[in-house]
Amino acid sequence: MIRTTSARLKSIQQALGVEADGILGAQTLTALESHLNITPEALKPINQNLGLQLSQKGIDKLISFEVGSKAYYQKYLRKPCWPGASSGITIGIGYDLGYQNSDSFKHHWQWILTKKQINYLLPACGLTGQTAKLKLAEFQQVSISYKSAMQVFINSTLTLYAKQTLRIYPEMIQLKPDAQTALVSLVYNRGASLANKPSRQEMRDLVDLVKSQNYQSIANSILQMKRLWGPQLSGLHKRRDIEAELVLNANRDYKPNELYRV
């Protein structure tokens, strides 16, 4: 029996780990390009000229905070999830749709998801907390491969949060790469608000501490944030511990190939 082109494409899609719909769309092309080590112009990192240097060590830690491991991602996080608390419906490497507007979501994912998939997920933008939890079941028809999630994280999300971090801590540009990355991880997790609330006190304290390049005090301020979460959220305690450790040990030699410049 002669197999149709559609059937052959579905087999290829299954091997690539993308939706086997028999349609040669954006997600399939991206997976093929990734498999062949081809980076399309649209997905190449854009030099934002922020002047930051993030370390691969710190980036790896940030990714592990969000997805644990590639194996864990493949088993549990390929489909949209709700991390809990005030989070929104989340896709990829910690990409929280609850805190994205429709334009930014489309801009970041248009080269990875099909137009149909983007339109399907658009209503999740802006949903947070219990509302997002209740709506989660409505967004389970999209599956995102680890490779695709990583592409969006490295080429869009990381730069986005680096820019937000630099906006509230402009002097971070003078810090060592591990310390810069720890601050980006912090803002990625907690947001960039410096609101006059008790829960944001340490975030505000960091403004002057970063300005003075006081690594010990920066680390202490990050550790003090653990007061905000009970023992049931031990993962956040561990995250603050590792971010503080990155800051304290930031004064080391860095190889050029372990630095990500934005």
- At residue 60, does pLDDT exceed 50? yes
* Contact indicator for 58, 188 with CB cutoff of 8 Å: no
* pLDDT tens figures, 155-204: 888 998 999 999 999 999 999 999 999 999 999 999 999 999 999 999 99
> What are the percentages of helix, strand and coil residues in the chain, rounded to 5?
65, 5, 30
Report the C-alpha dihedral over residues 186, 187, 192, 195, rounded to 10 degrees.
-20
Domain with CATH 1.10.530 in the chain: 44-68+153-262
Fold of 44-68+153-262: Lysozyme (1.10.530)
Rounded Cα gap, residues 108 and 178, in angstroms: 26
Q: What is the pLDDT of residue 41?
A: 45
Give me the helix-helix angle, 215-224 and 177-190, nearest 10°. 20
Rounded Cα gap, residues 35 and 224, in angstroms: 44
- In 3D, which of 165, 167, 168 has the Cα closest to residue 189? 165
